[in-house]
Amino acid sequence: MKNTPKELTQLALDLTQGISSQYRFDRLLSVIKSLFSCDSSALLAFRDQHFSPLAINGLYEEVLGRQFHIDEHPRLEAIARAGDIVRFPHDSDLPDPYDGLIPSHQGNLHVHACIGLPLIANESLIGALTIDGFDPHQFDQFSDDELRVISALAAASLHTALLMERLESQAVNIPQPQGTTNLQTGKLPQAGQVEMIGKSKAMEELRNHIQAVAATELTVLITGETGVGKELIAASIHQASHRSQQPLVYLNCAALPESVAESELFGHVKGAFTGAISDRKGKFEMADGGTLFLDEVGELPLSLQAKLLRVLQYGDLQRVGDDSLLKVNTRIVAATNRLLHEEVKTGKFRADLYHRLSVFPIMAPPLRERGNDILLLAGFFMERCKGKLGIQSMRLSQEAVTQLSLYSWPGNVRELEHAINRASVVARAESNGLDFVELQPQHFDIHAESHGNSTQSTVGTDSHHHKKSPISVDTNIGLKDATNRFQYQFIDESYQRNNQNWAATARALELDAGNLHRLAKRLGLK
């Protein structure tokens, strides 16, 4: 390999540098591209029978959100089981996990060069490095020994990141199962572990808040719009806490009829009321030693709020129909999409309970404030959906990427998941086969222009919405051209209205600034 010693030496030195894991991963793939002149490469972590991309080069960004289960991807399964370098025949009939996901290559990767390097540490598989080239003989000149050097350095880089993650967790007294890591992507869950996908600044701040409070015994109040994943945050807090080996009990307060709410929370004894044929534990007892997640806590009736407050204050409760007190050691994590401080002012929620619950408030960011996380989440949902639908390869068209980026997502992550599922079904029905499906704007039942008129948020967002003047387009042209014209006019109008300031325009359109700049360049506005 030409100039190999110098570049590989630098890679080895990177392992000793105080740089971030993500920077080290990205640099690794840059060197791989330089050495092999490959068209794409990916560094993946392995856990629980699936590979999760940590860094990519030459692939669509949505790939970072995908999880490749080896029982659905025979090439990755072969890498996982090989224990050494895998050179796939250039005409291999095994489908490639990156089919349709390389921007510089349109169509399937039926004939191409492909190498898989399993990454081993302490005799265990921790990840893989994949290298692809369009020339069938692109990597013939590289020996297996040379590839093993690359594999060893990549494995060392990933292993170092895993160790650093574990040490950081131990430094703040957060128990973390061996091999578990987030590595800035919020993924890589072990069996039964939650996953938070996203690399935006908003998600980084959220993870920092979770890490800060998880090791404490503080009560947490999670606020945010519907569909942002408050349940996922609660599970993450529990999982990173000292109580992780104890139960996490869920209770949806909004679904509780007032007549049975007290019994659900605190339990009852036999004969306490009609139908109480035996003693029954309440959610507090079930979560003793663990965590009780009270979802939609703002829906609790005032009469029950007082009893909940007593348990939070003194740690004891009474079952319905029983005069004796029971001591419980239960941590409370609550969630609401209501503005509880406003509910307090109107007398709908007790002030003392509000202050007791909101010892450590956490705001779950809406999807529209998470920038390119939309694409990562879309990739995650597509990968999961295509397996259910029996589709070999699925991707977003560039027009669909623009559409998803411009939409305000009033229903947040839950709405995005439903939109991907629906679009996948529609696109599958229109497709002639199941080898390759591309999601187009017409497959989505959303409209990018609604970005400025999204459903009013209940928490943490400005209730004022800019009114956009209607913009007409020529209906005698194709959808792609019409969409581009509409976007051009819509963005240009906002740009002029904001004194030709791109940062202000991005804020007005509620878009990530980087996304807006790229879109403006594609449309010819810059």
Q: 129's torsion region: left (phi>0), alpha (psi -120 to 50) or beta?
A: beta
What are 69-112's pLDDT values in tens digits? 999 999 999 999 998 999 999 888 898 999 888 887 766 666 68
422: Cβ contacts below 8 Å, ≥ 6 apart: 443, 444, 445
Of 417, 423, 237, which is closest to residue 333 (Cα–Cα)?
237
Structure tokens at 512: 């990530």
* Euclidean distance between CA atoms 478 and 211, whole angstroms: 49
If one compares 351 and 458, the residue with the highest pLDDT of the two is 351
Element (H, E) at 508: helix 502-508
What are 162-180's pLDDT values in tens digits? 887 766 655 544 444 433 3
Mean predicted confidence (pLDDT) in 287-294: 93
| Range of lowest pLDDT (198-202, 245-249, 260-264) | 260-264
Q: Which residue has the tokens 């807090």?
A: 237
Rounded to the nearest integer, the mean pLDDT of the chain is 82
What are 341-384's pLDDT values in tens digits? 999 999 999 999 999 999 999 999 999 999 999 999 999 999 99
5: Cβ contacts below 8 Å, ≥ 6 apart: none
* Neighbouring-strand partners of residue 133: 113
> Quick one: pLDDT at residue 396?
94
* Euclidean distance between CA atoms 250 and 256, whole angstroms: 12
In contact, 99 and 108? CB cutoff 8 Å? yes
